[in-house]
Amino acid sequence: MLEQLVQFDHQVFKAINTGLSNSFFDWLMPLLRNRYLWVPLYLFLIIFLIRNYKKSGAICIVFLLITFGISDYFSASIIKPAVERLRPCNEPGFNADVIMRVNCGSGFSFPSSHAANHFAIAMFLSIIFGKRWKWVWPVSFLWAFSIILAQMYVGVHFPVDVTFGALLGCLIGYITSTIFLTLQPNKKWNSGL
């Protein structure tokens, strides 16, 4: 059963890494996974939260940072060293078929910390603002999904890596946003004021 899952994982990876290969994605996907590309979005969130929610906005930023920190710690420092799955670009007997579009890196692959971190943020923001602005759900998850697709396209993660990372991130984002809403007046966040 495990061997069949690994084989399926490899097939889906190849379908994305080589099957979707085109010059536009070769340009776009490395950008999408680059953390510096998203700095303006993070700055906007900080300004928006502080400007519109004052002290509660600052507390929300702290919770976002905690969400990111927990997600990154669990994925990168606990699970990856325990599982020790090689990245597609480093897996012997498989890496020759991988089209590398970024530096492979030496770290382990399972789970994807990019997936965990971005899905944690997407879930957190969706729970906090989703009742007020319904578009937050699809936009935030489309953003997170584009990043995990990029991770596979550039050759650094298998589909199982990003799927588990996304699920882990969603769980962490759900827990931290629920704690945040328990500590902060729910009405304030639903009204958008």
How many C-beta atoms lie closer than 10 Å to residue 155's C-beta? 23
Question: How many Cβ atoms sit within 10 Å of the Cβ of residue 20?
Answer: 12
Packing angle of the helix pair 136-153, 113-129 (nearest 10 deg): 170
- Residue 190 has a pLDDT of 62
pLDDT for the residue numbered 193: 44
Q: What percent of the chain has pLDDT over 90?
A: 65
Among 21-25, 95-99, 117-121, name the one with the lowest average pLDDT. Answer: 95-99
Report the pLDDT value the prediction gives residue 173, as an integer from 0 to 100. Answer: 97
Mean pLDDT of 51-70: 93
Q: Average pLDDT for residues 131-136, to the nearest whole number?
A: 86
Tell me what the mean pLDDT of segment 6-19 comes to.
91
CATH T-level assignment (fold) for domain 2-191: Vanadium-containing Chloroperoxidase; domain 1 (1.20.144)
**For residue 171, what pLDDT is reported?**
97
Mean residue pLDDT across the chain: 90
What is the average pLDDT across 150-171?
Answer: 95
Asked if residues 171 and 115 have their Cβ atoms less than 8 Å apart, the reply is no
Say if residue 93's pLDDT is above 60. yes
pLDDT of residue 187: 63
Q: Which pLDDT score, from 0 to 100, does residue 89 have?
A: 86
Name, in order, each residue with C-beta under 8 angstroms of 18's C-beta and a sequence gap of 6 or more: 97, 99
- Per-residue pLDDT, averaged over 157-163, amounts to 94
- The answer to whether the beta carbons of residues 86 and 109 sit under 8 Å apart is yes
Dihedral sign for Cα atoms in the order 74, 77, 79, 85: positive
Mean pLDDT calculated for residue range 70-80: 95
Of residues 84, 67, 193, the one with CA closest to residue 118: 67
Q: pLDDT band for 186, please (50, 70, 90 cuts).
A: low
Query: Rounded to an integer, what distance in angstroms lies between the CA atom of residue 9 and that of residue 86?
Result: 13
Percent of the chain with pLDDT over 70: 95
- Check residue 184 and give its pLDDT: 82
| Domain extents in the chain | 2-191
Coil vs helix vs strand at 107: coil
